[in-house]
Structure 1
Amino acid sequence: MTQHTDILIPHKTCWRIAPAGRFAFIDDGAAYFAAARQAMLQARHSILLIGWDFDANITLDRTPDGAEDEGPARLGDFIIWLADRTPGLQIRLLRWDTGAIKSMLRPSELATVIRWKMHPRITLRLDGAHPPAASHHQKIVAIDDALAFAGGIDMTMQRWDTPEHLDDDPRRTTPRGRPLPPWHDATSAFDGPAARAIGDLARARWLAATDEALPPCPAPHDCWPKDLAPTFTDVSLGIARTLPKMDGQDPVHEIEAAWLAMIASAKRMIYAESQYFASRKIAHAIALRLTEDDPPEIVIVTPHSADGWLEPIAMDTARAKLIEALARVDHKKRLRLYHPVTAAEAPIYVHAKVTVVDDDLLRVGSSNFNNRSMRLDTECDVILSHPRAADLRATLLAEHLGTTPEVVTSTLAETGSLIATVEALRGPGRSLVPYVLPELSSLAEWLAENEILDPNGPDEIFESLSKRGLYKGWQHLLRGRFRRAPR
């Protein structure tokens, strides 16, 4: 069996390596919200919520078996109730400043923010410690230095869903009852010294954003969610970061280095889920592998289109341009992109950021396959090597293909091919749909090729257009190693 124990190198591909007695991969928002609620109920000293966004109006679900605790369901009320219930508990929330402005102007949100600000043991601060056009994108929770969550799920609107991704789920609504589309996401939970390391990371981010130094928590205790089953036990986690270059802050590119090392290390296959596919460095690393005589298979699950009104112009077009270029070197047809759809064949939005390399290397975090995640935004990923990471890949593929992990595993054993397995199990209804290159407008191509909305770091925001571009650094491939993409 392939092992990747040498991927994690402190100060290069990760910040720290720390053990965890329990590690849980959490698939989709319903399970995450329930687990986070259960964990916060056990907090004694400190809850640090560090995120891109928090919506005080969302509901944190009750325990999966339906047994209700005594706290209110709404996040804003629950936070206040927790602080009132537990003397000595400090609750701190840090959210990206630019993204918070619009939501905090809503009357219901503003009312809760005022109540939070009035509470002596609840502190809400906005994180503006980032370059222009950047965002704070980490999604981490640290509870008493005893339990941590790290991944891609924000405690905000639209994130709640189950792995079933039902077409008409009456629970998947806004606080006002408006139906929301299916949403696929992922995060992780872990304890032990790895959780304390996330506590250190959260305090470092708090210091950077607020100039306030927080002390570590005394005497960590067990606050593992009672309904959350560990996926793995006794593992070592690598914690990787992206920190942008700023005055007084050296850039940190551990996530980029980890991505490149993981792609280079693959022997047989890479399975990835990403909201975007727009990073020229990731695409270049994949191109180098595809030109080999016997390349690994690479399957990437992405949304049909990026969320929002501006993101599709930049991200979807960049994806199309990069995939078109990669097709020219994919002489063994080892690269596939797919979109998940529901039983009624409606798109499922992919927000998860997950990778499984071969059978043992797992990464889950906040970073996407885009330039911002490598150089401009703040990010946090966790990486581990475990011989049963292939089970998670089977579970995710089964979710997307409307089958069982056992069927995925047995089909993969028969075919020996990840792509052949997906193709054998695809069909009408709940399934994976192959990506098709779209027709692109000249404006969209210009925006994508010049990385107007996805710069590769703070320096490139102010770099002339003649010096940037999707294919920067690809010259040796473009000059002769590319083949014509099939039409």
Structure 2
Amino acid sequence: MSNSDLAPIVVEGRNCWRIARADKARMIVDAADYFALLEQLMADAKERILLIGWDFDPRIALKPDKNGKGEPLGDYLLRLAKNCPERDIDILRWNFGGLKQFAMPRIVSMIARWKLTRSISFRLDSAHPVGCSHHQKVAVFDDHLAVCGGIDVGARRWDTRDHADGDPHRTAPDGKAYMPWHDSTMILAGPVGNALAELGNERWQRATKKALRELKGEGENWPDDLEADFEGVDVAISRTRAEYDGYAEIREIEQLYLDMIAAAKRFIYFENQYFTCGKIAAAIAERLNEDDPPEFVMVMPESADGWLEQVAMDAARVQLVRAVAKSKHGDRLKVYYPRTQAGEPIYVHAKTAVVDDRAIRIGSANLNNRSMGLDSECDVTIDTALPANRGVEPTIRRLRESLIAEHLDVAPEDVARSFDATGSLIATIEALRGDGRSLELLDLVPPGPLDKFIAENELLDPTSPDAMFESLTERGLKKSWHSGRKWMRRHRPFGRS
């Protein structure tokens, strides 16, 4: 069956907020390329730079030298403001993370200098229930050109696709080296950029109680030296938002994950930081109980970043993967982590999914409960079953091959040849992975008693703001798992007509 015979996975009002045209779009992999592009986009913006994110660190250098040094982002923004004082520079970041930065003198000093600069506005976002976070990573330039994905403009994010061992460029503002880091985002121009600007403007108004000023519409266009992956495609924008202050709950991202799992015929390739959502895991397990199910390949970190995240996320991931493995075709789920040439784990922060080379999705949402119902999230998806997108399947395939090749340290052509010969993502990866820089199967070490208790009761990864206050008998992985199985049994035919 060709993709022209398939029903679209993305449906406005069901699993996405809006479907809008992208005149051009490109996937950007890893922060070295994104930060260099961001510097250019900010310099070229004529009326407004809008940066919205979970993290924002003015100490970082967008183009670090071999010692990890360079012009700090905060100084660069001051220079932009001086050179073009009529251009607004608006920065909105999550309040809790921002408040922690006020203990750092360099950051406090920089924010004070921004406060004295009329065209720079730095605000904290607390427009969410207690325990939730603002997790979107969106940048908008002149309300026309936008970036949406998983890369925070923060410390310890910069890395190249080589993920070289001991790269001195990977030096944090505190002078300490940090681990290799893999991430992704997407730049989009055209009406979809206008839509993301609308989303950003709404978020700014909710957080600050003030609207951004109207622009004249004389904004920048696509950079002349940047080659697009896609032209003239329709892009779906999906969101998560907790109910708060008169605004209804939005769970488009969760619905889209479920619909993608239901629609897959051959495979879903995930790159994601977490896998702790019992509902998503159960939906995968239901598919793997079919006679000829698709494959599910996940590329993830070996362990979460930080002790608290490891306790909350790693134990739940082990339990869910072990549960899925008990399915009839449980061997069609494989979880890998990438490592460098010397064997150091590469941290996977990306939130990317490719379904059958017919749809590609990039955003801020993890495969955890928080991203389904607590934290504010934003993902973008290109689905080739939409009429405007037919014929871009080879581009999605090329991007997927490029990602797998990066992790295996082989040429994309090697990935293509092996996949054509086997028809299997798992067989392709198993044939190409080896010593040195490559993909390693995740070691599913059983969690200890405390970690298991925290994971099973979703104490640090609740399914909704209300769930944080529910008794232990009313919450947990088992309840989420049952919910996912029930949904998949009702909706199994979705998207596969």
Write the deviation string for residues 97-148 of structure 1: whole angstroms up to 9, x where unpaired. Answer: 0011122221111100101111111111100011111110000001001210
**For the structure 1 residues 434 and 2, does the alpha-carbon distance in structure 2 shift closer, same or farther, using more than 3 Å as the test?**
farther
1:258-273 alignment to 2 at 5 Å? 258-273=256-271
For residue 21 of structure 1, give the secondary structure of its aligned residue in structure 2. Answer: strand
* Contact residue 19 and residue 234 of structure 2 kept, 8 A: yes
1:411 aligns with 2:418: yes
Alpha-carbon distance in 2 for matches of 1:110, 1:311: 27
1:148 corresponds to which residue? 146
Alpha-carbon distance in 1 for matches of 2:202, 2:252: 16
1:7 corresponds to which residue? 9
Quote the offset at 1:228 in angstroms.
2.7
2:244 corresponds to which residue? 246
Alpha-carbon distance in 2 for matches of 1:215, 1:335: 49
1:56-455 alignment to 2 at 5 Å? 56-61=58-63, 73-331=71-329, 333-385=331-383, 386-387=392-393, 388-455=395-462
* Contact residue 277 and residue 480 of structure 2 kept, 8 A: no
* Contact residue 283 and residue 484 of structure 2 kept, 8 A: no
**For the structure 1 residues 39 and 320, does the alpha-carbon distance in structure 2 shift closer, same or farther, using more than 3 Å as the test?**
same
For residue 477 of structure 2, give the secondary structure of its aligned residue in structure 1. Answer: coil
Alpha-carbon distance in 2 for matches of 1:262, 1:439: 29
1:21 aligns with 2:23: yes
1:484 corresponds to which residue? none
* Contact residue 279 and residue 481 of structure 2 kept, 8 A: no
Alpha-carbon distance in 2 for matches of 1:476, 1:125: 38
* Contact residue 282 and residue 482 of structure 2 kept, 8 A: no
* Contact residue 45 and residue 89 of structure 1 kept, 8 A: yes
Write the deviation string for residues 217-268 of structure 1: whole angstroms up to 9, x where unpaired. Answer: 2224334334432111111110110000123110011111111111111010
Match of 1:30, as an amino acid?
A
**For the structure 1 residues 126 and 332, does the alpha-carbon distance in structure 2 shift closer, same or farther, using more than 3 Å as the test?**
closer
**For the structure 1 residues 124 and 222, does the alpha-carbon distance in structure 2 shift closer, same or farther, using more than 3 Å as the test?**
closer
1:34 aligns with 2:32: no
Match of 1:33, as an amino acid?
F
Deviates more, 1:120-129 or 1:325-334: 325-334
1:45 corresponds to which residue? 47
Match of 1:99, as an amino acid?
G
Match of 1:420, as an amino acid?
A
Q: Which runs of 4+ in 1 moved over 4 A?
A: 475-479
Write the deviation string for residues 141-170 of structure 1: whole angstroms up to 9, x where unpaired. Answer: 010012100000001001100110001112
Unaligned runs of 5+ in 1: 64-71, 480-487
Aligned length: 471
Deviates more, 1:210-219 or 1:364-373: 210-219
* Contact residue 36 and residue 225 of structure 1 kept, 8 A: no
Alpha-carbon distance in 2 for matches of 1:49, 1:473: 34
**For the structure 1 residues 226 and 344, does the alpha-carbon distance in structure 2 shift closer, same or farther, using more than 3 Å as the test?**
farther
**Which of 457, 469, 486 pairs up with 1:462?**
469
Match of 2:427, as an amino acid?
A
* Contact residue 15 and residue 238 of structure 2 kept, 8 A: yes
**For the structure 1 residues 8 and 220, does the alpha-carbon distance in structure 2 shift closer, same or farther, using more than 3 Å as the test?**
farther
For residue 333 of structure 1, give the secondary structure of its aligned residue in structure 2. Answer: helix
**Which of 461, 468, 471 pairs up with 2:478?**
471
For residue 171 of structure 1, give the secondary structure of its aligned residue in structure 2. Answer: coil
**For the structure 1 residues 76 and 443, does the alpha-carbon distance in structure 2 shift closer, same or farther, using more than 3 Å as the test?**
same
Alignment RMSD:
1.7
For residue 433 of structure 1, give the secondary structure of its aligned residue in structure 2. Answer: strand
* Contact residue 462 and residue 468 of structure 2 kept, 8 A: yes
Alpha-carbon distance in 2 for matches of 1:15, 1:248: 18
For residue 355 of structure 1, give the secondary structure of its aligned residue in structure 2. Answer: strand
Question: Normalised by the size of structure 2, how large is the TM-score?
Answer: 0.92
* Contact residue 2 and residue 358 of structure 1 kept, 8 A: no
Write the deviation string for residues 32-88 of structure 1: whole angstroms up to 9, x where unpaired. Answer: 00111111111111111000011000011289xxxxxxxx83100111111111131
For residue 310 of structure 1, give the secondary structure of its aligned residue in structure 2. Answer: helix
Write the deviation string for residues 409-443 of structure 1: whole angstroms up to 9, x where unpaired. Answer: 01100111110000000100010000121131111
* Contact residue 35 and residue 225 of structure 1 kept, 8 A: no
Write the deviation string for residues 157-190 of structure 1: whole angstroms up to 9, x where unpaired. Answer: 0110011000111211113442221000000101
Alpha-carbon distance in 2 for matches of 1:172, 1:473: 39
Q: Percent identity?
A: 48
For residue 438 of structure 1, give the secondary structure of its aligned residue in structure 2. Answer: coil
Alpha-carbon distance in 2 for matches of 1:93, 1:271: 33
Alpha-carbon distance in 2 for matches of 1:462, 1:277: 23
